[in-house]
Chain A
Amino acid sequence: MFHSSSETSTYLRSFLAITLLCSLTFLGGCGEKPEGDSSTANGSDEEIVIAVLPKLVNIDYFDACEKGAKKAADDLGIKLVYDGPQQPSGVEQNKFIETWTRQGVDAICIAPNQPKSIKRFVNQAQDRGIKIITWDSDASESGRSYMVNQVNDEVLGHMLIDDLAEQMGGSGKWAIAIASLDAANLNTWRKFAEEHAKAKYPELELIDTVVTQEDAETARQLVQSLINANPDLKGIVAFDSNSVPGAAEAIKRAGKVGEIALVGNSTPKSMKPYIKEGVLKSFYLWNPQELGDLTVRVAHALIQGKEIKEGTELEGYGPVHLHPNDPTTIIMSDPIRFTAENIDEYDFGI
């Protein structure tokens, strides 16, 4: 039947399929449209539009940030655009900055994957009067106005090592589990942690680093082998929310609970069972929803021409704190130390 059709009907069918494809595209878009929002980003003169660019979308951490940012946007009565690449790629992020520059948003908040590559795009946007701040990880050379940092990177790196050293009794072999060797802020923390360990605890010996490729299952397998290959391993520092549960599972399955100390940054929801079982004593995080919230509020204040200093009151947030040595970096809070006692008090949604 297919083969006998005449040329005209082939074209007709092609046309129908294209139309279908495009109307699907259109309907798909319209179906997702939120109610009561009729103005588009490009046309509006009155409404303030703040664009927030995470490192990548569709992961729990940045989803929690989005929820916080939305709350702030509703509170302030502004329009929020929260979108980003599907892979943690600097090149893709720059494309988003270009698109938003063309659309003429009022501010862009960037969590850069490749901090040094955004400079030209930031300058382009600033030339058109768009305010730029960074959040989550910094790009200090790009000319951004402010940086909203969740924690003081140095403080976090030191806290992790101090905690580990205390649990290990100040000496022994330790290893690192990290998602990727060149991810911007993981790497900053890793560097501070290694330096601190060398300087303050000379009896701690770093024996290996495993790269877990943002996957809890890979992390488990690698740490399992690491434990097996080094029977005298006493501690593990894991820097991301996939490595910590993976490492915890590996310690549990190797039957070395209590023998190997584990500290790291992870989300309360995924760590709750392990911390209740005592596989690890503590881990660290900050409130990602608060980070999204603060980022939007800082951008809003900047658009309104406010100057941000130590202790400046932000509408609906409270006073902000700056980095002791850098007046353009806002530090959200100290990292929260989660333990079996306090884990039930926090609900970040992740």
Chain B
Amino acid sequence: MNSTSRTVGKPNSTFKLIYRLYPAAVRQRILFLLAGNLLLLAYLWFAAHQRESSFWNELVNIAPNIAPQVLGAFALTGLIYCGSIDLSIGSIIAVAGSSFGILHYYGAPPILCFSGCFLTAFFLSLLNGLLIRLLKISPIILTLGGLSLYRGLALIIAHLTIPEFPEVFSIQNDAYQGPGKFYAGEILLVVLVGVLLWEAFGKLPRLWLAVGCSPVACERQGLDPGRLQMSAFLFSGLFLGLSALILITNPQTIKPSQVATGFELTVIGAVVLGGTNIFGGQGTYLGSALGACFLYLVSKSLIYLGVDAFWREAIEGAVIVVVIGFDCWIHRTEKLLEELK
């Protein structure tokens, strides 16, 4: 506390504040992931060079390809900050996909379809927040129920509105595929810059972190943890809406029963890999983005390495275990000391 008040007024005070806001473990995890990502990129460059193919092609594809995962990770990061979670994001995306498909089926103009998709995801996320507040059920349980519930909802609304629904929406018109197909990378970069600035200068993420650290302490300070958690779901809905929009408008077919299955696990993997504490109170948005990028680059590198198809999954799993195990292990003593302070 003393150190922060002393630095106020100095030219670089804000950056110092940001720096100090994050515990050593989080800062080091980010450096660790940065190094890992750069290493993988260097390998890809080397491999592309060796195979006489273009590294640039691979590089420009990174942003559009990881956009849904990164935005999904942003959606979850804020929630996990304040000790909450949403396991139903994959199914929410399915419902958003269904509403997009239904609007498209009935000939709505593209902009209406896009907003339908975005708003569905947004409001379902908000609904999750509301239900958690009203029913006072643990978020993980409610959204575990939602995981199944919303998947059913996605199928039911499609079957109720479309006669003889063939279990798939086909969108074969580029006008309907703008955000996912053509602007995914741009959207991601804009959001990424916005989020990093917001994280550095905004107040809300820090309040969420505070709630995650100790709801009781927040209440004593006159903050309302319930409302703050609600606001986290609101922002999560915004990110999730964008993520859904990109994921839905990229391929030419939407299959409500299959779209984004297992998405929540990939995203949680990215968030936790990025140094965010799954029980709340600690983490960064930057880390989540780097985590998602790392997982993507690992799977790309395996293609360039030419590993046998049967070995790929095991290696991917082993890399995750080894990387995170190593990082946790080298910080173990520090963490124990911090706990005992």
Contacts and interface: CB of A to CB of B under 8 A. Distances in A.
Direct contact of A and B (CB under 8 A): yes
Given A59-B258, A273-B172, A273-B252, A229 B303 contact: yes
Interface in B282-328: 300, 303-304, 306, 309-310, 312-313
Contacts of B250: 217
A254 interface: yes
A231 B53 contact: yes
B53 A230 contact: yes
A216 B303 contact: no
A350 B168 contact: yes
B53 A58 contact: no
A215 B266 CA distance: 15
B312 A58 contact: no
A222 interface: yes
Contacts of A249: 251-252
Nearest to A214: B258
Nearest to A61: B167
B251 A58 contact: no
A134 interface: no
B170 interface: yes
Interface stretch (A89-97, A203-211, A305-313, A331-339): A203-211
Contact of B48 (A67, A217, A228): A228
Nearest to A348: B166
Residue among A60, A215, A230, A246 with the highest chain B CB neighbour number at 10 A: A60
Contact of B166 (A211, A220, A245, A349): A349
Interface stretch (B8-16, B57-65, B186-194, B216-224): B57-65
Contacts of A60: 166-168, 255
Nearest to B296: A221
Given A60-B255, A228-B48, A245-B252, A208 B306 contact: yes
A254 B172 CA distance: 19
A181 interface: yes
Contact of A225 (B58, B309, B310): B58
Given A217-B250, A230-B51, A270-B252, A58 B167 contact: yes
A226 B303 contact: yes
B40 interface: no
Interface in B216-257: 247, 250-253, 255-257
A272 interface: yes
Contacts of A226: 303
Nearest to B254: A216
A230 to B, nearest CB: 7
A246 B170 contact: no
B167 A59 contact: yes
A27 B167 CA distance: 24
A249 B312 CA distance: 23
Interface in A36-85: 57-60, 63-64, 67
Contacts of B54: 228
A10 interface: no
A229 B47 contact: yes
Given A208-B303, A221-B65, A224-B61, A270 B309 contact: no
A132 B48 CA distance: 54
A200 interface: no
B155 interface: yes
Contacts of A207: 306
A167 to B, nearest CB: 22
Nearest to A87: B261
A191 to B, nearest CB: 14
Nearest to B61: A224
Nearest to B247: A217
Given A59-B255, A245-B251, A211 B48 contact: no
A133 B303 CA distance: 41
B339 interface: no
B338 interface: no
B309 A210 contact: yes
Given A228-B54, A254-B57, A222 B303 contact: yes
A350 B164 CA distance: 11
Contacts of A228: 48, 53-54, 57-58
A269 interface: yes
Nearest to B54: A228
B310 A181 contact: yes
Given A210-B309, A273-B172, A350-B168, A225 B303 contact: yes
A245 B167 contact: no
Interface string B193-220: 0000000000000000000000000000
Interface string A296-331: 000000000000000000000000000000000000
Contact of B257 (A58, A181, A209): A58
A103 interface: no
Contact of A63 (B47, B167, B304): B167
Given A245-B252, A249-B251, A350 B166 contact: yes
Contacts of A216: 251-253
A59 B57 CA distance: 34
B251 A220 contact: yes
A86 interface: yes
A229 B303 CA distance: 7
A45 to B, nearest CB: 33
Nearest to B305: A229
Given A59-B257, A63-B167, A224-B61, A272 B309 contact: no
Given A225-B61, A225-B304, A349-B166, 10 more contacts: A57-B257, A59-B168, A207-B306, A210-B303, A221-B65, A228-B54, A229-B51, A229-B53, A270-B253, A350-B168
Among all A-B residue pairs, the 5 with the closest Cβ atoms: A58-B257, A209-B309, A60-B168, A63-B167, A231-B53
16 contacts: A58-B256, A60-B168, A64-B166, A207-B306, A208-B309, A211-B313, A220-B251, A225-B303, A229-B53, A231-B51, A231-B53, A249-B252, A254-B57, A269-B170, A270-B170, A350-B166
Interface of B: 47-48, 51-54, 57-58, 61, 65, 155, 164, 166-168, 170, 172, 247, 250-253, 255-258, 300, 303-304, 306, 309-310, 312-313
